[in-house]
Amino acid sequence: MEVGNYLYLAMILFAIGATTVMLRRSAIIAFMGVELMLNAANLAFVTFARIHGDLSGQVIAFFVMVVAAAEVVVGLAIIVAIFRTRKSASVDDVNLLKG
Protein backbone atom coordinates (compact mmCIF):
# COMPACT_ATOMS: atom_id res chain seq x y z
CA MET A 1 0.00 0.00 0.00
CA GLU A 2 1.24 3.49 -0.79
CA VAL A 3 1.53 6.07 1.97
CA GLY A 4 -0.45 8.37 -0.32
CA ASN A 5 -3.61 6.45 0.55
CA TYR A 6 -3.66 8.27 3.87
CA LEU A 7 -3.77 11.52 1.95
CA TYR A 8 -6.76 10.40 -0.07
CA LEU A 9 -8.46 9.48 3.18
CA ALA A 10 -7.66 12.92 4.59
CA MET A 11 -9.04 14.67 1.52
CA ILE A 12 -12.24 12.63 1.59
CA LEU A 13 -12.76 13.35 5.27
CA PHE A 14 -12.14 17.04 4.65
CA ALA A 15 -14.74 17.11 1.88
CA ILE A 16 -17.26 15.28 4.07
CA GLY A 17 -16.63 17.79 6.84
CA ALA A 18 -17.16 20.68 4.44
CA THR A 19 -20.36 19.08 3.17
CA THR A 20 -21.60 18.79 6.73
CA VAL A 21 -21.04 22.48 7.31
CA MET A 22 -22.88 23.36 4.12
CA LEU A 23 -25.77 20.95 4.61
CA ARG A 24 -26.62 20.72 8.26
CA ARG A 25 -28.67 23.53 9.67
CA SER A 26 -28.02 22.65 13.27
CA ALA A 27 -25.21 24.85 14.51
CA ILE A 28 -23.72 22.12 16.69
CA ILE A 29 -23.53 19.55 13.90
CA ALA A 30 -22.16 22.12 11.48
CA PHE A 31 -19.51 22.91 14.03
CA MET A 32 -18.68 19.23 14.34
CA GLY A 33 -18.17 19.30 10.59
CA VAL A 34 -15.55 22.00 11.08
CA GLU A 35 -13.85 19.80 13.66
CA LEU A 36 -13.80 16.97 11.15
CA MET A 37 -12.14 19.27 8.64
CA LEU A 38 -9.46 20.19 11.17
CA ASN A 39 -8.90 16.51 11.93
CA ALA A 40 -8.57 15.75 8.25
CA ALA A 41 -5.95 18.46 7.94
CA ASN A 42 -4.15 16.94 10.91
CA LEU A 43 -4.10 13.56 9.21
CA ALA A 44 -2.60 15.22 6.15
CA PHE A 45 0.04 16.87 8.33
CA VAL A 46 0.98 13.61 10.00
CA THR A 47 1.19 11.80 6.69
CA PHE A 48 3.29 14.51 5.10
CA ALA A 49 5.54 14.49 8.17
CA ARG A 50 6.15 10.81 7.52
CA ILE A 51 6.75 11.36 3.83
CA HIS A 52 9.27 14.12 4.46
CA GLY A 53 10.80 12.47 7.52
CA ASP A 54 10.27 15.72 9.38
CA LEU A 55 8.65 16.00 12.77
CA SER A 56 7.40 19.55 12.41
CA GLY A 57 4.23 18.24 10.76
CA GLN A 58 3.39 16.42 13.95
CA VAL A 59 4.10 19.50 16.02
CA ILE A 60 1.76 21.48 13.81
CA ALA A 61 -0.96 18.88 14.31
CA PHE A 62 -0.37 19.25 18.02
CA PHE A 63 -0.86 23.01 17.77
CA VAL A 64 -3.97 22.54 15.69
CA MET A 65 -5.49 20.50 18.50
CA VAL A 66 -4.85 23.32 20.95
CA VAL A 67 -6.34 25.86 18.59
CA ALA A 68 -9.33 23.62 17.96
CA ALA A 69 -9.91 23.25 21.67
CA ALA A 70 -9.89 27.03 22.10
CA GLU A 71 -12.23 27.41 19.16
CA VAL A 72 -14.60 24.81 20.58
CA VAL A 73 -14.76 26.63 23.90
CA VAL A 74 -15.75 29.90 22.26
CA GLY A 75 -18.07 28.31 19.72
CA LEU A 76 -19.99 26.27 22.22
CA ALA A 77 -20.26 29.28 24.52
CA ILE A 78 -21.86 31.23 21.67
CA ILE A 79 -24.20 28.35 20.88
CA VAL A 80 -25.24 27.97 24.50
CA ALA A 81 -25.82 31.72 24.78
CA ILE A 82 -28.07 31.63 21.73
CA PHE A 83 -29.88 28.58 22.99
CA ARG A 84 -30.66 30.24 26.30
CA THR A 85 -32.02 33.22 24.46
CA ARG A 86 -34.24 31.15 22.20
CA LYS A 87 -35.55 29.01 25.00
CA SER A 88 -36.99 31.88 26.92
CA ALA A 89 -40.32 32.58 25.31
CA SER A 90 -40.40 35.98 26.92
CA VAL A 91 -38.08 37.47 24.38
CA ASP A 92 -39.74 40.63 23.34
CA ASP A 93 -38.48 43.18 20.94
CA VAL A 94 -39.92 46.04 22.91
CA ASN A 95 -37.98 44.97 25.96
CA LEU A 96 -34.88 44.57 23.90
CA LEU A 97 -34.96 48.02 22.56
CA LYS A 98 -35.13 49.75 25.88
CA GLY A 99 -32.38 51.82 27.34
Residue list 33-92, contact with another protein (CB under 8 A): 33-88, 90-92
Q: How far apart are CA 67 and CA 39, in angstroms?
A: 12
Q: Tell me the C-alpha to C-alpha distance, in Å, between residue 51 and each of 4, 13, 38.
A: 9, 20, 20
Q: How far is the CB of 89 from another protein (least distance, A)?
A: 10
| Residue 59: CB minimum distance to another protein, A | 5
User: Residue 55, exposed/middle/buried by CB under 10 A (0-12, 13-18, 19+)?
Assistant: exposed
| CB of residue 16 to another protein, shortest distance in Å | 4
| Residues 2-21, interacting with another protein (CB under 8 A) | 2-21
Q: How many residues bind another protein (CB under 8 A)?
A: 98
CB of 39 to another protein, least distance (A): 6
Alpha carbons 44 and 39: distance in angstroms, whole number: 9
What span, in angstroms and rounded, lies between the C-alpha atoms of 76 and 28? 8
